[in-house]
Amino acid sequence: MTKETIFSKIIRREIPADVLYQDNLVTAFRDINPKAPSHILIVTNMLIPTVNDLTADHEAALGRLFTVAAKIAQQEGIDEDGYRLIVNCNRHGGQEVYHLHMHLLGGRPLGPLVA
């Protein structure tokens, strides 16, 4: 099992990132390869590789992913027009970094899917 990811280093501020929010459960920062005008990653501070690895002990962090997403959407000015939240799981689901994270995308009409 992975013990370290690039997100772990961002959480610890060992590598630079445009961090928008951080508390004891989650960290949010801008994606370095944005797919929309607002593209923010919200990651659990605890390394949880995939959705399949979740337990009831993680529920507080999961709830925080969503409350932070709503807060950042408002700060970005995309809450009124709408935005998309995406969580990918494993290879077929498009997961590239095996550290649980949510994509917050908005700032333009996104259509049925983001490619």
Report all structural domains of the chain as residue ranges with CATH numbers, in order of start: 6-106 (3.30.428.10)
Instruction: Give the CA distances from residue 53 to residues 8, 30, 92, 99, in Å, rounded to whole numbers and listed in that order.
Output: 17, 25, 16, 10
Of 39, 58, 99, 101, the catalytic one is 101
Q: Which two tokens mark 59? A: 């529920």
The radius of gyration computed from the CA coordinates of the chain, to the nearest angstrom, equals 14
Answer whether residue 96 shows pLDDT above 80.
yes
pLDDT digits (tens, 9 = 90+) for 33-74: 999 999 999 999 999 999 999 999 999 999 999 999 999 999
Answer whether residue 112 shows pLDDT above 90.
no
Alpha helices by DSSP H, listed for the chain, are: 6-11, 59-76
Q: Is 92 a catalytic residue?
A: no
pTM: 0.94
Q: What's the pLDDT band for 1 if we cut at 50, 70, 90? A: low
